């Protein structure tokens, strides 16, 4: 499975594109459904909430990552085991 290098959280009418390959981009979907105008410079305060969401999500995944087991009678591991 290929790794996704772009994260796209939404906050209200705005959508933030975060990618390792290019700078962050913010789009106002109410006024620009085609996402042609990056408004990140005129709305830097809007970037904080979805950026924090991405950080919290990445931390949660790292903290709760458990191996997957496939097979007959397999059971999920308890959350506290690592």
Output the pLDDT for position 81: 52
DSSP string for 7-37: E--EETTEEEEEESSS--EEEETTT-TT--S
**Residue 27: pLDDT band by 50, 70, 90 thresholds?**
very high
In this structure, what CATH number is given to the domain that contains residue 56?
3.30.1120.10
**More confident: 7 or 60:** 60
Model confidence at 1: pLDDT above 50: no
* d(C-alpha 30, C-alpha 27), whole Å: 9
In a domain, 82, yes or no: no
Asked whether 53 and 13 are in contact (CB, 8 A), the reply is no
Structural domain includes residue 32: yes
* Residue 15 resides in a domain: yes
Q: Which residue has the higher pLDDT, 19 or 40?
A: 40
Is residue 78 included in any domain, yes or no? no
In total, how many domains does the chain have? 1
Domain that holds residue 51: 6-63
- pLDDT surpassing 60 at residue 37: yes
């Amino acid at each position: 499975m290929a790794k996704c290098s772009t994260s796209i959280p939404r906050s209200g009418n705005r959508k933030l594109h975060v990618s390792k390959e290019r700078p962050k981009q913010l789009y106002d979907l109410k006024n620009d459904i085609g996402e042609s105008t990056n408004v990140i410079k005129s709305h830097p305060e809007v970037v904080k909430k979805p950026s924090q969401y991405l950080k919290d999500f990445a931390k949660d995944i790292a903290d709760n990552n458990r191996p997957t087991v496939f097979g007959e009678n397999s059971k999920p591991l308890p959350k506290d085991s690592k």
